């Protein structure tokens, strides 16, 4: 459930008409609802009754106002770069609730994580382990480590966002992972505290999560036999949302399945949800510039693939709704942006409201991997992010200017 609703045929975000925000900040812009963010975070977090930390996947939506909101609800952060660590700390996320994932952490990023006192590094290779040991030794500290294991489970999602298959670059194959644990146990500056696993994103079934947890549980048993006790079990993120007709499990059903599989394990659970919390808590608002008929009908809007990459990159579907519902019905069109590429579309052969130049459209379910994946391609300033709370809206990131585009550039 989200708080983007029609009142008198006009789209509101909580108590604020979307049209009013557009009049004040211009288009395009990302728009998030505080009530929805709160509700989704709580619904997820409270579904888990065992000891756990909900470490929000920063990459899904990294504005510091939003990270701060989750920190206020007791959340931590799953980060994948020094930049995300910087954001999380600025947003007052407790470093003891930060987990650092990713296959390519640099020495500088490791130093930053160690200096900040994060909960753990999810290490994904032997070479990364050796590097971390060296960095920790130089700093004369101990690095808390969890190894990300790859269970070779099919998450049944888009190929680009599957991470738990043997052919994916992520993690350490689970069958061979005991060796790295025993090696790490002997390292003076490595403190082995966890096992982690993340098999993919936008999962719409529970079974792959269960299958992977079963494999991880067997592995934890083997670790215990080898005298290695694990305090944290990180099961990653990945729970899907409804964009169109998907029917993903609710957080409560997901939590129940995890709880059943956790039976007998003495670990604190770490969760890394991203999309399920923010996906339907944000929209992208864009204005129709022109319409035209070629071989097809095109609706040309002022947002493009640089603002929302998901349709171009994953052929992802985002519902498109009118900001003012004229009740003129729908038609099948391509909604395209101003970028000079045929791959620049927000919708293809999709039923959208009949509209004309000047109309405002809402690209729904854009809260996750929307702004965070946006770019300056075609030298387009990145759009603002707006947060509504009740009857008030806040500009939580201002629109970039042309000057911002060249900041840092010089002509030698």
Mind telling me the catalytic residues? 340
Q: Which of residues 276-315 bind ligand LLP (CB under 6 A)?
A: 276, 310, 314
Report the distance separating Cα 342 and Cα 283, nearest Å: 23
Torsion angle, alpha carbons of 158, 81, 45, 6, to 10: -60
Nearer to ligand LLP, 298 or 377 (CB): 377
Nearer to ligand LLP, 25 or 57 (CB): 57
Torsion angle, alpha carbons of 320, 326, 332, 336, to 10: -50
Nearer to ligand LLP, 161 or 183 (CB): 161
Nearer to ligand LLP, 237 or 322 (CB): 237
Least distance (Å) between residue 403 CB and ligand LLP: 29
Tokens 């052969």 sit on residue: 349
Among 37, 57, 192, 283, binds ligand LLP (CB under 6 A): 57
Distances (CA, A) of 74 to 38, 67, 118, 244, 268: 11, 11, 16, 31, 15
Rg (CA), the chain: 22
Q: 238, 251 in Cβ contact below 8 A? A: no
Distances (CA, A) of 305 to 30, 130, 140, 238, 385: 14, 40, 46, 23, 17
**Which segment (194-202, 350-358, 382-390, 400-408) binds ligand LLP by CB under 6 A?**
194-202
Residue 152 binds ligand LLP (CB under 6 A): no
Distances (CA, A) of 78 to 135, 222, 339, 355, 359: 21, 27, 32, 40, 38
Note if the bond before 28 is cis, omega within 30 degrees.
yes
Among 87, 275, 321, 380, binds ligand LLP (CB under 6 A): 275
Among 33, 63, 133, 201, binds ligand LLP (CB under 6 A): 201
Among 189, 198, 382, 397, binds ligand LLP (CB under 6 A): 198
Least distance (Å) between residue 373 CB and ligand LLP: 6
Q: Which of residues 226-245 bind ligand LLP (CB under 6 A)?
A: 236-239
Q: 119, 144 in Cβ contact below 8 A? A: yes
Residue 100 binds ligand LLP (CB under 6 A): no
Residue 55 host element (H or E): strand 52-57
Least distance (Å) between residue 313 CB and ligand LLP: 7
Torsion angle, alpha carbons of 264, 267, 272, 276, to 10: 40
Nearer to ligand LLP, 71 or 239 (CB): 239
The values of phi and psi at residue 296, to 5°, are -140, 175
Q: Which of residues 114-143 bind ligand LLP (CB under 6 A)?
A: none
Least distance (Å) between residue 102 CB and ligand LLP: 7
Report the distance separating Cα 239 and Cα 348, nearest Å: 26
Nearer to ligand LLP, 251 or 353 (CB): 251
C-alpha angle 79-80-84 in degrees, rounded to nearest 5:
60
Tokens 């038609």 sit on residue: 331
The residues with which 283 forms a beta bridge, in sequence order, are 31
> Is the torsion defined by CA of 368, 371, 372, 373 positive or negative?
positive
Among 202, 212, 280, 306, binds ligand LLP (CB under 6 A): 202
Nearer to ligand LLP, 265 or 373 (CB): 373
Nearer to ligand LLP, 33 or 162 (CB): 162
Least distance (Å) between residue 281 CB and ligand LLP: 13
For ligand LLP (CB under 6 A), the number of binding residues is 22
**Interface mask (CB under 6 A) for ligand LLP, residues 358-377, using x and -?**
----------xx---x----
Among 16, 45, 52, 78, binds ligand LLP (CB under 6 A): 78
Report the distance separating Cα 332 and Cα 318, nearest Å: 14
Residue 161 binds ligand LLP (CB under 6 A): yes
Among 101, 133, 280, 286, binds ligand LLP (CB under 6 A): 101
**Which segment (183-191, 268-276, 289-297, 329-337) binds ligand LLP by CB under 6 A?**
268-276
**Interface mask (CB under 6 A) for ligand LLP, residues 319-358, using x and -?**
----------------------------------------
Residues at the contact surface with ligand LLP, assessed by CB under 6 A: 57, 60, 78, 101, 161, 198, 201-202, 236-239, 272-276, 310, 314, 368-369, 373
């Amino acid at each position: 459930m989200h708080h983007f609703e029609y009142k008198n045929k006009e789209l509101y975000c909580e108590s604020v008409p979307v049209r009013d925000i557009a009049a004040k900040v211009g288009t395009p812009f990302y728009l998030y609802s505080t009530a929805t963010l709160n509700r989704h975070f709580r619904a997820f977090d409270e579904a888990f009754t065992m000891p756990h930390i909900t470490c929000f996947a920063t990459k899904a939506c990294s504005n510091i106002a939003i990270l701060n909101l989750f920190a206020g609800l007791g959340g931590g952060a799953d980060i994948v770069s020094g930049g995300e660590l910087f954001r999380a700390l600025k947003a007052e996320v407790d470093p003891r609730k930060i987990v650092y994932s990713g296959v390519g952490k640099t020495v500088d990023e490791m130093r930053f994580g160690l200096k900040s006192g994060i909960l753990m590094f999810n290490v994904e290779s032997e070479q990364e382990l050796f590097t971390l040991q060296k960095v920790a030794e130089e700093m004369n500290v101990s690095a808390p480590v969890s190894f990300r294991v790859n269970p070779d489970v099919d998450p049944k999602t888009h190929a680009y966002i599957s991470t738990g298959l043997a052919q994916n670059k992520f993690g350490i194959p689970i069958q061979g992972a005991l060796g790295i644990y025993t090696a790490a146990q002997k390292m003076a500056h490595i403190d082995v505290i966890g096992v982690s696993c993340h098999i993919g994103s936008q999962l719409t079934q529970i079974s792959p999560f269960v299958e992977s947890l079963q494999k991880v549980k067997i592995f934890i048993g083997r670790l215990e036999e080898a005298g290695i006790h694990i305090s944290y079990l990180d099961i990653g993120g990945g729970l899907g949302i409804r964009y169109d007709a998907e029917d993903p499990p609710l957080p409560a059903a997901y939590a129940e399945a995890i709880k059943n599989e956790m039976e007998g394990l003495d670990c604190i659970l770490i969760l890394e949800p991203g999309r399920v919390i923010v996906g339907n808590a944000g929209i992208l608002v864009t204005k129709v510039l022109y319409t035209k008929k070629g071989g097809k009908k095109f609706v040309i809007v002022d947002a493009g693939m640089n603002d929302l990459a998901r349709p171009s990159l994953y052929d992802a579907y985002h519902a498109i709704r009118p900001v003012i519902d004229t009740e003129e019905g729908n038609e099948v069109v391509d909604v395209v942006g101003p970028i000079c590429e045929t791959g620049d579309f927000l919708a293809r052969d999709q039923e959208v409201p009949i509209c004309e130049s000047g109309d405002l459209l809402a690209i729904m379910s854009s809260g996750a991997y929307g702004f965070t994946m946006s770019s300056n391609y075609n030298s387009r300033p990145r759009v603002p992010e707006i947060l509504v709370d009740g009857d008030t809206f806040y500009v939580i990131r201002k629109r970039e200017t042309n000057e911002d585009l060249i900041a840092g550039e010089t002509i030698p």
